[in-house]
């Protein structure tokens, strides 16, 4: 009796309990929208650039998205942001072409919503050559992240 | 009426009286060991109950702001903190639950955790607070782990579990054996002499607060380190508890794993191809605040900033009322809500535990809740002290003054109860094994100890 008791306790102490891997399935689950963006390897200014996004949700391509918009702006110039309505290219793939007026660092923000999930991923786009100030801006980010890393060893 | 601690009813059978003595003996030793901890828990608990009011007074200068037009975006408030503490890592942002509440930016700096309070209307710092200097956190640390970490946590847990043993044995000792006469059972006897009053001051209030004490122990145990974590894991695994990541378990990860923008290392020239710099960048905290508004997250939420590329933004609010609680995980690149766990989405046991916690902390029903809990704490202190007095009064110089032991083997029912408690609360079980071993190996073999402990 006492031995059994001992054993039970040792098992509890050493093993403890662990969560089942798929335990989240027992509770409320969301169906987050997922975006995959295709950009050309290199982009030059003043030429038509194809931009595509593949939208998936719940493991399936999103056939007819509820709403979708591409928003563009140049680094440090959010006030002059422009929007475009991509069109459906094939099932789950939406796209547009975009002409960037000058070289530099751009942002593309995709506003999409479907079946209760709303997403707004932001993509950094490099057009032609970056200016020194843009490089410095990107570099500043690196420093912060590196320092951050150091503190968490 | 004869439930006095130092006599047993003569009409009881021999067996009953020896059972009574055994129960009393356990109550006696458990009480002596547990009472100091109970007093610590009751004192710190009764202070911690009033945390909202105390902190409101202590930190008024850091909390209160005068509304002045629109609030400045969260990202700018965080920028200001980064400017003030260039080497810090920002860990949390709390926007403030109403118009007159400052926002908080938490950071770690050289192993220390600081909170900077920002006036959201001017974007300036109102001052900082080192987590180590938060007096209520210290109180909580004593209450939860006696300020000595894991060992303290286990000791507190053990004391809490043994409190159940005390309550069970105490109730047995209290239970009226003769015709019910409420004096000395439900009411104090003021005019029967000092020793009767001393006894009543232990027994009567103890009975009155028994339910409250069981409640405090049972609602406190789920957040203990050993029993609590295992209990939470078991309950979460059944689907009836907290969803994962609210208490036990990990947050989901951000769904974007490739195409994350890389950053160039050298400022002078691009040392990585442009295509590497292209890609997803983390969401601005302003977008996260927007999402919180859109999803109707309780305004007292805190945003936990992701630290890993696969991390998520976590919005979490543990509100005064359990039904407003929320834990929400947001993909740091897409802003998709990955999980949205509110009170309504907890399993039944999860809801019970959550309510238990807010009741235990005294926040669920505000002041009434605080006062009821406060009186239970006062009662606990009174019972512990009067119990201690009863012991001192009967303690002979050369021994503990414990009731004589009878072999536990004759007490089948009592043994079953103990073993049951030992299985339900493994720490109790472990301590029982240690007690039995000590009794077998030491106390029974050393005459002085045997005499001293009346073993």
Residue B68 has pLDDT above 60, yes or no: yes
By Cβ distance, the residue of A5, A8, A17 closest to B234 is A17
The whole-number average pLDDT for the span B221-230 is 90
The residue count of chain A comes to 153
Residue B223 has pLDDT above 60, yes or no: yes
Query: What are B237's two structure tokens?
Result: 């695994």
pTM of the model: 0.87
Percent of chain B surpassing pLDDT 70? 93
User: In whole angstroms, what is the distance from residue B40 CA to residue B148 CA?
Assistant: 14
How is B335-366 classified by DSSP, letter by letter? --EEEEEEGGGS-HHHHHHHHHHHHHTT-TTH
3-state secondary structure of B153: helix
> Looking at CA atoms only, how far is residue B263 from chain A in angstroms?
6
By Cβ distance, the residue of A19, A33, A36 closest to B248 is A19
3-state secondary structure of B430: helix
User: In whole angstroms, what is the distance from residue B283 CA to residue B146 CA?
Assistant: 41
Percent of chain A surpassing pLDDT 90? 56
Between the CA of residue B361 and those of A40, B52, B207, B344, what are the distances in Å? Answer: 57, 10, 22, 20
Confidence at B258, pLDDT banded by 50, 70, 90: confident
Query: What are B55's two structure tokens?
Result: 């902190």
Best mutation target, B278, B296, B344, to test chain A (most A CBs within 10 A):
B278
Backbone angles phi, psi at B379, to 5 degrees: -60, -40
> Looking at CA atoms only, how far is residue B199 from chain A in angstroms?
37
List CB contacts (< 8 A) between A120 and chain B.
283, 287, 334-335
Q: What is the ipTM of this complex?
A: 0.84
Spell B3-15 as b/e; 16+ CB within 10 A means b. bebeebeeeeeee
> Looking at CA atoms only, how far is residue A94 from chain B in angstroms?
17
Indicate yes or no: CB of B244 within 8 angstroms of CB of A5: no
The residue count of chain B comes to 455
Give the A:B interface size as CB pairs under 8 Å: 169
Cβ-proximal residues to B6 (8 Å cutoff; 6+ apart), any chain: B394
Residue B400 has pLDDT above 50, yes or no: yes
Burial degree of B321 (CB within 10 A; 0-12, 13-18, 19+): middle
Indicate yes or no: CB of A119 within 8 angstroms of CB of B334: yes
Q: What's the number of CA atoms in the CB half-sphere (13 Å) around residue B272?
A: 15
Residue of B nearest to A140 (CA): B267
- Cα dihedral across residues B396, B155, B224, B304: positive or negative: positive
List CB contacts (< 8 A) between B244 and chain A.
19, 23-24, 27
Q: Say if strands A77-84 and A33-38 run parallel, antiparallel, or are unpaired.
A: unpaired
Residue B264 has pLDDT above 80, yes or no: no
Residue A149 has pLDDT above 50, yes or no: no
What is the model's pLDDT at position A8? 56
> Looking at CA atoms only, how far is residue A24 from chain B in angstroms?
6
The answer to whether the CB of B334 falls within 8 A of the CB of B289 is no
Residue B371 has pLDDT above 50, yes or no: yes
The whole-number average pLDDT for the span B358-375 is 96
Confidence at B369, pLDDT banded by 50, 70, 90: very high
Query: What are A35's two structure tokens?
Result: 């975006």
Query: What are B258's two structure tokens?
Result: 């490739």
What is the model's pLDDT at position B277? 81
The whole-number average pLDDT for the span B439-448 is 84
What is the model's pLDDT at position A15? 52
Indicate yes or no: CB of B239 within 8 angstroms of CB of A18: no
Q: Cα–Cα–Cα angle for B386, B392, B393, nearest 5°? A: 85
Mean pLDDT across chain A: 83
- Domains delineated in chain A: 30-134 (2.60.40.10)
By Cβ distance, the residue of A18, A26, A30 closest to B337 is A30
What is the model's pLDDT at position A144? 53
Least confidently predicted of A3-7, A36-40, B17-21, B186-190: A3-7
Residue of B nearest to A22 (CA): B237
| A5 part of contact set with chain B, CB < 8 Å | yes
User: In whole angstroms, what is the distance from residue B154 CA to residue B427 CA?
Assistant: 8
User: In whole angstroms, what is the distance from residue B171 CA to residue B178 CA?
Assistant: 15
| A32 part of contact set with chain B, CB < 8 Å | yes
Q: Report pLDDT digits (tens) over B172-200.
A: 999 887 766 777 788 888 888 888 898 89
Residue B162 is inside which H or E element, if any?
Answer: helix B150-174
What is the model's pLDDT at position B12? 47
List CB contacts (< 8 A) between A65 and chain B.
none
Best mutation target, B228, B254, B267, to test chain A (most A CBs within 10 A):
B267
What is the model's pLDDT at position B269? 57
Q: What's the number of CA atoms in the CB half-sphere (13 Å) around residue A14?
A: 6
List CB contacts (< 8 A) between B248 and chain A.
19
User: In whole angstroms, what is the distance from residue A125 CA to residue A72 CA?
Assistant: 10
What is the model's pLDDT at position B409? 63
List CB contacts (< 8 A) between B275 and chain A.
39, 41-42, 126
> Looking at CA atoms only, how far is residue A81 from chain B in angstroms?
16
Indicate yes or no: CB of A119 within 8 angstroms of CB of B433: no
Indicate yes or no: CB of B239 within 8 angstroms of CB of A26: yes
List CB contacts (< 8 A) between A124 and chain B.
261, 277-281
| B363-370 CB contacts, 8 Å cutoff, 24+ apart | B363/B52, B363/B320, B363/B321, B364/B320, B364/B321, B364/B322, B366/B320, B370/B49, B370/B50
Q: Report pLDDT digits (tens) over B282-332.
A: 999 999 999 999 999 999 999 999 998 889 999 999 999 999 999 999 999
User: In whole angstroms, what is the distance from residue B334 CA to residue B254 CA?
Assistant: 8
List CB contacts (< 8 A) between B271 and chain A.
none
Confidence at B4, pLDDT banded by 50, 70, 90: very low
What is the model's pLDDT at position B8? 43
Best mutation target, B237, B336, B340, to test chain A (most A CBs within 10 A):
B336
The whole-number average pLDDT for the span A22-33 is 92
Residue B95 has pLDDT above 90, yes or no: yes
> Which stretches of B230-355 are assigned E, i.e. beta strand?
279-281, 302-304, 312-317, 326-331, 337-342
Q: Report pLDDT digits (tens) over A77-131.
A: 888 899 999 999 999 999 999 999 999 999 999 999 999 999 999 999 999 988 8
Confidence at B159, pLDDT banded by 50, 70, 90: very high
**Tokens 């995959």 found at:** A36
Q: Where is pLDDT greater, at B319 or B435?
A: B319
Confidence at B438, pLDDT banded by 50, 70, 90: confident
The whole-number average pLDDT for the span B416-420 is 86
Residue B81 has pLDDT above 90, yes or no: yes
Residue A57 is inside which H or E element, if any?
Answer: strand A48-57
List CB contacts (< 8 A) between B110 and chain A.
151
Q: Say if strands A117-119 and A104-114 run parallel, antiparallel, or are unpaired.
A: antiparallel
What is the model's pLDDT at position B3? 43
Mean pLDDT across chain B: 89
Percent of chain B surpassing pLDDT 90? 64
| A65 part of contact set with chain B, CB < 8 Å | no
Residue A99 is inside which H or E element, if any?
Answer: strand A93-99
User: In whole angstroms, what is the distance from residue B367 CA to residue B363 CA?
Assistant: 8
Confidence at A147, pLDDT banded by 50, 70, 90: very low
Indicate yes or no: CB of B259 within 8 angstroms of CB of A2: no
What is the model's pLDDT at position B166? 93
Residue of A nearest to B243 (CA): A27
The answer to whether the CB of B383 falls within 8 A of the CB of B390 is no
User: In whole angstroms, what is the distance from residue B377 CA to residue B38 CA?
Assistant: 9
**Helix, strand, coil distribution of chain A in percent, nearest 5:** 25, 45, 30
By Cβ distance, the residue of B244, B267, B419 closest to A23 is B244
* Biggest distance spanned by C-alpha atoms of chain B: 98
Indicate yes or no: CB of A122 within 8 angstroms of CB of B263: no
What is the model's pLDDT at position B5? 47
Nearest CA-CA partner of B262 in B247, B244, B282: B282
Best mutation target, A17, A53, A68, to test chain B (most B CBs within 10 A):
A17
By Cβ distance, the residue of B255, B275, B336 closest to A42 is B275
Q: A128: left (phi > 0), else alpha (psi -120 to 50), else beta?
A: left
Domain boundaries, chain B: 14-49+141-222+370-452, 66-120, 248-345
User: In whole angstroms, what is the distance from residue B240 CA to residue B234 CA?
Assistant: 9
Residue B270 has pLDDT above 90, yes or no: no
The whole-number average pLDDT for the span B238-247 is 92
The answer to whether the CB of A88 falls within 8 A of the CB of A101 is no
């Amino acid at each position: 009796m006492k031995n059994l008791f001992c054993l039970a306790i040792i098992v509890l102490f050493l093993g403890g309990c662990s969560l089942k891997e798929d335990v989240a399935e027992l509770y409320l689950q969301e169906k987050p929208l997922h975006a995959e963006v295709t950009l050309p390897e290199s982009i030059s200014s003043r030429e038509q650039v194809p931009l595509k996004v593949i939208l998936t949700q719940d493991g399936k391509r999103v056939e007819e998205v509820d709403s979708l918009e591409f928003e563009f702006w140049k680094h440090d110039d959010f006030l002059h942001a422009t929007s475009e309505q991509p069109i459906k290219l094939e099932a789950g793939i939406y796209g547009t072409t975009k002409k960037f007026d000058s070289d530099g660092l751009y942002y593309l923000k995709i506003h999409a919503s479907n079946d209760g999930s709303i997403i707004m991923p932001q993509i950094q786009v490099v057009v032609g050559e970056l200016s020194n100030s843009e490089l410095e801006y990107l570099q500043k980010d690196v420093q912060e992240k590196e320092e951050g890393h150091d503190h968490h060893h | 009426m004869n439930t006095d601690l130092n006599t047993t009813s003569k009409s009881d059978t021999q067996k009953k009286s020896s059972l009574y003595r055994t129960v009393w003996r356990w109550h006696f030793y458990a009480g002596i060991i547990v009472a100091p901890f109970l007093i610590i828990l009751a004192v710190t608990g009764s202070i911690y109950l009033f945390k909202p009011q105390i902190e409101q007074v202590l930190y008024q200068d850091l909390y209160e702001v005068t509304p002045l037009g629109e609030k400045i975006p969260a990202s700018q408030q965080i920028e200001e903190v980064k400017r003030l503490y260039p080497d810090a890592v920002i860990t949390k942002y709390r926007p403030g639950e109403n118009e007159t509440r400052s926002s908080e930016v938490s950071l770690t700096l050289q192993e220390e955790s600081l909170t900077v309070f920002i006036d959201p209307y001017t974007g300036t710092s109102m001052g900082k607070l080192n987590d180590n200097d938060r007096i209520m956190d210290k109180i909580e640390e004593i209450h939860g782990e006696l300020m000595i970490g894991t060992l303290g946590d286990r000791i507190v847990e053990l004391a809490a579990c043994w409190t159940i043993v005390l309550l069970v044995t105490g109730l047995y000792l209290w239970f009226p054996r003769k015709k019910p006469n409420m004096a000395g059972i439900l009411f104090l006897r003021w005019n029967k002499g000092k020793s009767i009053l001393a006894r009543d001051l232990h027994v009567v209030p103890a009975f009155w607060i028994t339910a409250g004490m069981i409640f405090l122990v049972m609602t406190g145990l789920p957040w203990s380190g050993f029993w609590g974590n295992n209990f939470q894991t078991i309950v979460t695994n059944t689907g009836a508890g907290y969803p994962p990541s609210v208490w036990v378990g990990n947050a989901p990860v951000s769904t974007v794993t490739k195409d994350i923008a890389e950053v160039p290392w050298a400022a002078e020239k691009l040392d990585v191809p442009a295509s590497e710099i292209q890609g997803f960048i983390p969401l601005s905290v302003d977008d996260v605040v927007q999402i919180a508004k859109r999803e109707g997250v309780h305004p007292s939420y805190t945003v936990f900033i992701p630290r890993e590329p696969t991390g998520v933004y976590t919005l979490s609010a543990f509100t005064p009322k359990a039904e407003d609680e929320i834990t929400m995980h947001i993909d740091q690149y897409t802003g998709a809500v990955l999980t949205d766990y509110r009170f309504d989405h907890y399993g039944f046991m999860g809801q019970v535990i959550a309510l238990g916690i807010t009741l235990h902390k005294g926040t669920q029903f505000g002041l009434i809740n605080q006062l009821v809990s406060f009186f239970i704490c006062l009662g606990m202190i009174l019972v512990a002290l009067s119990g201690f007095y009863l012991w001192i009064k009967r303690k002979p110089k050369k021994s503990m003054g414990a009731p004589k032991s009878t072999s536990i083997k004759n007490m089948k029912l009592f043994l079953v109860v103990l073993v049951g408690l030992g299985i339900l609360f493994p720490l109790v079980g472990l301590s029982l094994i240690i007690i039995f071993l000590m009794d077998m190996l030491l106390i029974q073999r050393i005459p002085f100890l045997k005499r001293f402990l009346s073993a």
